[in-house]
Amino acid sequence: MIISEKFKNKRPIISFEIYPPKREEALRDIDETLKILCELKPDYISVTFGAGGSSNNNKTIALAKKIKDDYGVEPLVHLTCLTYNKNEIDQFLRELQSQGLENILALRGDRNPNIAQKEDFFHASELTTYIKKNGNFCVAGACYPEGHPESPDMVSDITNIKKKVEAGDAFLISQLFFENEMFYNYVEKLRIAGVNVPVTAGIMPVINKAQIEKMVSVCGASLPEKFKRILTKFENNKEALYDAGMAYAVNQVVDLLASDVDGIHLYTMNNPRVARKICESIRNII
């Protein structure tokens, strides 16, 4: 089913992100993860894509197909474009079509000095335009409550988000953030700019200090003081950090739901217990 239709029938939409494990054995273990995630009945599960053209990208399609066929949950397939030419994207789109996969998150991908950039696509909006022209897909895009790290200012950031939506993105998924007020301000700016598609809030429950420091250094999200205090206080106590990290994420999610957010997208890091704990905490709220 086309995910944009789901937003017409239900708000908030609840979704999870997973990544294809690199090792073959881990890919077999993914069934245990999917079983728990799918029992939570998410509206869709998104599957990440390696920007480097690795063979792991076939695993993205295989995993998406498994989610759809074996678990009856709608997958959203991430697709990046910076390191691909039109022929390669065509091949990917044909494969998705033949597998009955209808939903794509169109992304540019991060720049990587070790991977050659190609000349067909420079921005995610160009990929969205291309997909809409060459297939019958529902396309979504990424957005950044603190602005994309390469954006010189919020005006150019939002101007470029508007281009994606004009190109055909039917909804947006936000980068992770730890301060809800920042997300609310950002969505307000999008609305003022005339971006009226649903905006789903990306939430990452933090249970591991090293993991979050790595994520934040890659994506540029800032850590509020109250969150840093939790990390500092409990970094050497795994159980305490788990409890505190989960409580923080639940608190964020409850506030977002109370504010009538369009959707919540949980970055699960392939840890289904984290997703289960959050869903259990809000089962009487959604």
Active site residues: 17
Which helix (H) or strand (E) segment holds residue 40: the answer is none
Entry field: residues in the chain? 286
Q: With binding defined as CB under 6 A, does residue 80 bind ligand FAD?
A: yes
Buried b / exposed e over 165-185, threshold 16 CB at 10 Å, is bebbbbbbbbbbbbbbebbbe
Find the binder of ligand FAD among 49, 92, 177, 227 (CB under 6 A). 49
Give the range of 30-38, 47-55, 94-102, 256-264 binding ligand FAD by CB under 6 A: 47-55
Give the range of 36-44, 102-110, 191-199, 238-246 binding ligand FAD by CB under 6 A: 102-110
| Contact between residue 228 and residue 250 where contact means Cβ atoms under 8 Å apart | no
Q: Residue 81: which of 60, 107, 45 has the closest Cα? A: 107
Q: With binding defined as CB under 6 A, does residue 198 bind ligand FAD?
A: no
Q: How far is the CB of 59 from ligand FAD (least distance, A)?
A: 12
Tokens 């949950």 locate to 73
Residue 275 CB contacts under 8 Å (≥ 6 apart), including other chains: 16, 36, 37, 40, 266, 268
Q: With binding defined as CB under 6 A, does residue 66 bind ligand FAD?
A: no
Find the binder of ligand FAD among 11, 86, 118, 123 (CB under 6 A). 123
Token pair recorded at residue 231 = 């990390």
Give the range of 48-56, 68-76, 87-95, 190-198 binding ligand FAD by CB under 6 A: 48-56
Q: State the DSSP string of 186-221.
A: HHHHHHHTT--S-EEEEE-----HHHHHHHHHHH--
Q: With binding defined as CB under 6 A, does residue 252 bind ligand FAD?
A: no
Residue 94 CA to residue 68 CA, distance in Å, equals: 17
Q: With binding defined as CB under 6 A, does residue 54 bind ligand FAD?
A: no
How many chain residues bind ligand FAD (CB under 6 A)?
A: 24
Residue 193 CA to residue 184 CA, distance in Å, equals: 14
The Cα angle at residue 174 between residues 124 and 65, in degrees rounded to 5: 70
Q: With binding defined as CB under 6 A, does residue 88 bind ligand FAD?
A: no
Find the binder of ligand FAD among 75, 202, 205, 263 (CB under 6 A). 202
Give the range of 61-69, 108-116, 230-238, 239-247 binding ligand FAD by CB under 6 A: 108-116
Measured from the CB atom, the residue of 155 and 285 that comes closer to ligand FAD is 155
Residue 191 CB contacts under 8 Å (≥ 6 apart), including other chains: none
Measured from the CB atom, the residue of 173 and 199 that comes closer to ligand FAD is 173
Q: With binding defined as CB under 6 A, does residue 173 bind ligand FAD?
A: yes
What is the x/- site pattern for ligand FAD, positions 142-171, by CB under 6 A?
A: x-----x-xx----xx--x--xx-------
Residue 152 CA to residue 154 CA, distance in Å, equals: 7
Measured from the CB atom, the residue of 21 and 243 that comes closer to ligand FAD is 21
Task: Give residue 35's region: left, alpha or beta (phi > 0; psi -120 to 50).
Answer: alpha
Q: How far is the CB of 254 from ligand FAD (least distance, A)?
A: 22
Which positions lie near ligand FAD, rule CB under 6 A? 48-49, 51, 78, 80, 107-110, 123-125, 142, 148, 150-151, 156-157, 160, 163-164, 173, 175, 202
